[in-house]
Structure 1
Amino acid sequence: MVWYLDTSAFLKLITLEDESQAMRSWFRSHNSIWSSHLLHAEALRAGARLGISSDIIEDALDTVSLVLPSSTTFFDAGRLPPTTLRAIDALHLAAAMEIGDDLEGIVAYDGRLIEAAHAASIEVFSPR
């Protein structure tokens, strides 16, 4: 079974936030963690804003299996409810959904993504 990691959860691994320790503990205890290559771009952009070295981000990204979104991912993301879901979050959700029966759930802290995942009957975990 696979857990899909959203950027909001990944950033907890490389920053000091309230949930960072719980996220790191959860992450160390799981070995099948995937995300989309979207995570790579989002993490580097966020890291630049936060003053985090790209080397630190790249090292952390090496621990996640990244998959390339297909054209179907983009097509499906454009049609996911709710209308308040941002495009990048819709792409993450569509990428997670493509995993199919092997998807255990999504690890995320973003409220809109969590709401959309629940609406799609996908388990969401936010270590606290």
Structure 2
Amino acid sequence: MSGVYLDASALAKLILVEPESVALRSLLRENPDRFTSRVAQVEVTRAVLRYPDTKQAPVRDAFAGVEIIELDAALAARAATIGPTGLRSLDAIHLASALALGAELDAFITYDARQADAARAAGLEVVAPS
């Protein structure tokens, strides 16, 4: 594997210790090229706020070395029409962001079943290390 896209559910596992965290970190050691959407920073920061004992430094650390894909008008337009109608807005942005990478992307990492289904339907290889 080379380039991987991490959605918010994957990035959160780099901050909050969960059963899948070790396997995810192991996979990422093998994949230097990491990508995510700008919206993931908002999602993950908001999620971590629900755990008052977690400091914000781990949030910054989780994004270290991750290339951020900015949400521009073209990406927003693609996200508005992508995937099944039940796909949530932020998940659609993640999916459109990943698809914009084209050949640079080897895998889409998510722990969200609905997001995984949409990514597979769009032709992406989905990985959820556990």
Q: Which TM-score applies when normalising by structure 1?
A: 0.94
CA distance in 2: counterparts of 1:70 and 1:100, whole angstroms: 17
* 3-state SS, counterpart of residue 57 of structure 1: helix
Aligned residues: 128
Runs of 4+ in 1 over 3 A off after TM superposition: none
Aligned CA-pair RMSD: 1.1
Q: C-alpha distance in 1, partners of 2:72/2:32?
A: 24
Percentage of identical aligned residues:
36
- The gaps in structure 2 that reach 5 residues or longer are none
Code of the aligned partner of 1:69: L
Residue among 112, 115, 125 paired with 1:113: 115
**Letter of the structure 2 residue corresponding to residue 76 of structure 1:** R
Determine the structure 2 residue equivalent to 1:45: 46
Whether 2:28 is the aligned partner of 1:9: answer: no
**The one of 71, 82, 95 aligned to 1:69:** 71
Q: Name stretches of at least 5 consecutive residues in structure 1 with no aligned partner.
A: none
Deviation at 1:19, TM superposition (A): 0.9
Shift of 1:80: 1.3
Which residue type is aligned with residue 94 of structure 1?
Answer: A
Distance 1:4 1:87 in 2: 17
Aligned-partner Cα distance in 1 for 2:61–2:103: 29
SS at 1:106 equivalent: strand
| 3-state SS, counterpart of residue 50 of structure 2 | helix
